[in-house]
Amino acid sequence: MKKRIRQAAILFMAMLSLVSSGCSQTSADKPYKESRFLMDTLIEVTAYGPQAEKGVKEAFSEFERMYALADQYDPNSQISKVNQAAGSSKVAVDADIFAMVEESCQLAEKLEGTFDVCVGPLVELWGIGKKGEYIPSDLELANVLPLVNYKLIEVDKVNHTLFLPKKGMKLDLGGIAKGYAVDKAIAKLQAAGVKSALVNAGGTVRVIGSRPDGKPWRIGVQDPRKPDGVIAKVELAGWDTMETSGDYQRFIMKDNVRYAHIFDPRTGKQPRDMAAVTMIMNNASQGDIFSTALFVLGVERSLVMLKEFPGVEAIFVTLDGKVITSPGLAGKVE
């Protein structure tokens, strides 16, 4: 049931992204659009122009390639091979896997460790959506937390190998792989000559250029408590990426308490201040990381942190329904 609800919400976001644009289309402006379920979400790619179909097909090839590399639940994927070798040996990986891990670690350092690519043991312990109403004990969390430490990853830049020195450590690229794949898909669309396009991968949205009518893309931000509601709208003028992390995407309820799939890697528990964080920026792979980290940091600390990242903006929705925007979005959020 939760998967069907999540898919419906994703479908609504995809529809909103296009319908809200209000394009007046000529025959030359008609889009080529495809939707596929990949990377545990619905991905929709819409492109305009004579090379639209070619670009969309090549974009999906990138999603499929990245999924094959980064799916930790596939025992034959590269990321699984790294996890299986934890505590025993180095593993040579594809350049994209290496780049995702390296970028994750670099940003984690700047974001006070609130994002950690080694969160795999926590994800497995909680098993949100897979273990019913199971809530791990403090002792169970304490036993797992020593394995959640991106600083322990041994990265060999010369030989492109990764090594997890402790048995039981597990990489989980869920916080970057989808956004990274969106960036790769956008590159394929651009290489095909596409000048106007929108990619929506389950709430990670990135666009190329403007709408066919020349106006900026206008994207809605889902209300985290109303699957069919929109809590804000933003024109992507000066930015090309919108990415949302929220407690409504994957969660369980027990004793009227919501336990979401986003954890503070420093404590192993869910943050209790935010319902959703939407990033407005120009990099989808980093958007995934930022939205997760800022969800953990909370509004006050996040607003201070964002001063160090010019051009990166955020929309916060607190648990009590307040919508707070970073200063760079003043007057730009409807």
Report which of 191, 219, 187, 194 is spatially closest to residue 205, judged by C-alpha positions: 219
Q: How far is CA 263 from CA 61, 97, 103, 128, 289, in A?
A: 31, 22, 19, 11, 13
Contacts of 191 by beta carbon, 8 Å cutoff, 6+ apart: 55, 58
Torsion of CA 36, 41, 47, 53, to 10 degrees: -20
**pTM for the complete prediction?**
0.90
Quote the CA–CA distance of 195 and 217 in Å, as a whole number: 13
Report which of 303, 294, 305 is spatially closest to residue 330, judged by C-alpha positions: 303
Quote the CA–CA distance of 154 and 306 in Å, as a whole number: 29
Mean pLDDT in residue range 293-314 = 97
Contacts of 21 by beta carbon, 8 Å cutoff, 6+ apart: 211, 215, 217, 218
Residue 33 has pLDDT above 70, yes or no: yes
Name the percent of the chain lying above pLDDT 90: 87
pLDDT tens for residues 197-238? 999 998 899 999 999 999 999 999 999 999 889 999 999 999
Mean pLDDT in residue range 41-60 = 97
Dihedral sign for Cα atoms in the order 207, 294, 132, 1? negative
Q: How far is CA 126 from CA 72, 117, 251, in A?
A: 16, 16, 10
Report which of 282, 307, 214, 201 is spatially closest to residue 244, judged by C-alpha positions: 201
* CB distance 317 to 276 below 8 Å: yes
Contacts of 139 by beta carbon, 8 Å cutoff, 6+ apart: none
What is residue 28's predicted lDDT score, i.e. its pLDDT?
Answer: 52
Mean pLDDT in residue range 185-196 = 98
Quote the CA–CA distance of 179 and 186 in Å, as a whole number: 11
What is residue 210's predicted lDDT score, i.e. its pLDDT?
Answer: 95
pLDDT tens for residues 233-259? 999 999 999 999 999 989 999 999 999
Contacts of 274 by beta carbon, 8 Å cutoff, 6+ apart: 246, 247, 295, 298, 299, 316, 317, 318, 319
* CB distance 71 to 56 below 8 Å: no
Tokens of 221: 């931000």
Residue 9 has pLDDT above 50, yes or no: no
Mean pLDDT in residue range 302-306 = 97
